[in-house]
């Protein structure tokens, strides 16, 4: 077997590296994006420090459904001013480059992750006589809610406009979600255009790897034509 010449090998290595980077950026941009969880607003479904995989491709082919866990860009400064980078300029640049190509998970500094409770046209109310949320008059059982939490400590009635979603964290007592931003420009709703994708799995730590469940009760609500 003839071995490749040394000069030929040196020319091929940069091509291979560049091709790998292009593929990695393509995957992150259009297919799968990785984030890590910075807060406890989705406990115990997602814990602080968990790494999650987010399906971005689904945004192009299907509508967002009730019960799905979605990552979205901060719709109206829910998180306030973006925190500054720490460390030297070189370290920050290297870290940002690794995030860009998908080697490191995105720290999600100006992104949020919540569960979709209502989609365009839905009426979401808290709460019925049993203390459950209702969506279009259907009482919703939510087994994913953090143990000891109520579906909501505050009462509300909202009608979700077309092109928006109403979102809530699974740790209802520690989630500044749609309920807490009804005075913003979108009245607490999240524009569909701000949704990055649907979180479908925890990929780290290894002992906690799992596919994320979709709220079964929410899926029973009739889909509007």
Of 118, 141, 152, nearest to 224 (Cα)? Answer: 118
Q: How many CB atoms lie within 10 A of CB 109?
A: 12
Question: CA 79, CA 109: separation in Å to the nearest integer?
Answer: 8
Exposed / middle / buried, residue 118 (Cβ in 10 Å: 0-12, 13-18, 19+) = buried
Is the pLDDT assigned to residue 202 strictly greater than 70?
A: yes
Instruction: Pick 44 or 60 by higher pLDDT.
Output: 44
Q: Which tokens go with 29?
A: 């941009």
41 classed as catalytic: yes
What is the residue-averaged pLDDT of the chain? Answer: 81
Question: CA 37, CA 42: separation in Å to the nearest integer?
Answer: 9
Domain range summary for the chain, segments of one domain joined by +: 32-219
Contact 146, 170 (CB under 8 A): yes
Of the ranges 30-44, 76-90, 115-129, which is most confident?
Answer: 115-129
- Which pLDDT score, from 0 to 100, does residue 90 have? 72
| pLDDT band of 3, cuts 50, 70, 90 | low
Phi, psi of 191 (to 5 degrees): -65, 140
Q: Which tokens go with 105?
A: 């998970």
Catalytic residue (choose from 39, 114, 175, 178):
114
Instruction: Pick 20 or 151 by higher pLDDT.
Output: 151
- Which pLDDT score, from 0 to 100, does residue 110 have? 79
CATH class of residue range 32-219: mainly beta
Is the pLDDT assigned to residue 72 strictly greater than 90?
A: yes
Catalytic residue (choose from 41, 152, 175, 178):
41
Whether pTM exceeds 0.85: no
39 classed as catalytic: no
């Amino acid at each position: 077997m003839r071995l490749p010449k040394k000069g030929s090998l040196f020319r091929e290595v940069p091509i291979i590296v560049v091709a790998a980077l292009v593929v990695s950026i393509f995957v992150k941009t259009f297919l799968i994006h990785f984030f890590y969880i910075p807060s406890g607003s989705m406990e115990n479904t997602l814990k602080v420090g968990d790494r999650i995989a987010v399906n971005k491709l689904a945004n192009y082919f299907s509508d967002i459904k009730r019960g799905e866990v979605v990552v979205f860009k901060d719709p109206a400064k829910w998180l306030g001013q973006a925190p500054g980078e720490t460390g030297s300029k070189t370290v920050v640049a290297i870290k940002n480059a690794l995030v860009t190509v998908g080697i490191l998970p995105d720290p999600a500094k100006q992104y949020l992750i919540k569960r979709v409770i209502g989609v365009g046209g839905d009426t979401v109310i808290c709460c019925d006589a049993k203390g459950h949320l209702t969506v279009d008059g259907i009482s919703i059982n939510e087994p994913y809610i953090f143990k000891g939490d109520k579906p909501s400590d505050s009462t509300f009635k909202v009608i979700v406009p077309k092109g928006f979603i109403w979102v809530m964290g699974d740790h209802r007592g520690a989630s500044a979600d749609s309920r807490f931003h009804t005075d913003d420009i979108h009245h607490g709703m999240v524009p569909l255009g701000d949704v990055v994708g649907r979180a479908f799995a925890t990929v780290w730590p290894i002992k906690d790897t799992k596919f994320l469940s979709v709220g079964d009760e929410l899926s029973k609500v009739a889909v509007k034509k």
